[in-house]
């Protein structure tokens, strides 16, 4: 990791810690984890048909019908079956629950907010297969 990049990550983590009202160490781990999530989303979005990063998940979303989903390319319109290879394309994949709760929060959090953020970060790192809290990258 270059010096400029390191500074950038540090700045992002400081801002994230402030925005989400969590400790810097957890914020840094989350910033790194979401950067990795974006890489995985980009990798998963590569279309085997046209090689562009244009795949997305499409679904029938009617209330009284079975809900079917598939992967589709916005460029060449090819479709593919949902598989683990496309896991990163799901909208929940890089959903930031800590940020979402912090934005909605209009009353004090019941319980230890830092602990909640840390536990969610650990789950996130497991999901993204980041070892040792991304400290050695």
Minimal distance, residue 39 CB to Zn ion, in Å: 20
Shortest reach from residue 82's CB to Zn ion, in Å: 16
Cα distance between residue 14 and residue 28, in whole Å: 8
User: Which residues here bind Zn ion, judged by CB under 5 A?
Assistant: 47, 49-50, 73, 75-76
Query: What number of other Cβ atoms are within 10 A of residue 24's Cβ?
Result: 13
Q: In the beta sheet, which residues pair with residue 46?
A: 53
To Zn ion, the closest distance from the beta carbon of 92 in angstroms equals 24
Residue 47 beta carbon to Zn ion: minimum distance, rounded to whole angstroms: 3
Q: Any idea which residue has 């629950």 for tokens?
A: 97
Cβ proximity to Zn ion, 75 vs 96, nearer residue: 75
Which lies closer to Zn ion via its Cβ, residue 8 or residue 79? 79
Helix (H) or strand (E) holding 4: helix 3-20
Nearest CB to Zn ion, comparing residues 50 and 122? 50
For residue 22, what are the CA distances in angstroms to 44, 54, 83, 113, 134? 31, 35, 35, 7, 18
- The residue (of 77 and 112) whose beta carbon lies closer to Zn ion is 77
């Amino acid at each position: 990791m270059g010096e400029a990049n390191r500074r950038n990550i540090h700045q992002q983590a400081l801002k994230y810690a402030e925005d989400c009202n969590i400790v810097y160490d957890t914020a840094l781990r989350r910033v790194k984890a979401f950067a990795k999530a974006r890489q995985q989303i980009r990798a998963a979005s590569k279309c085997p048909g046209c090689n562009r990063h244009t795949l997305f998940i499409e679904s029938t979303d009617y209330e009284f019908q079975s809900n079917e989903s598939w992967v589709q390319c916005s460029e060449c319109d090819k479709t593919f079956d949902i598989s683990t290879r496309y896991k990163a394309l799901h909208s929940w994949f890089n959903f930031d629950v800590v940020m979402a709760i912090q934005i909605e929060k209009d009353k004090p959090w019941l319980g230890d907010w830092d602990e909640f953020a840390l536990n969610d970060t650990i789950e996130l790192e497991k999901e993204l297969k980041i070892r040792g809290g991304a400290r050695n990258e």
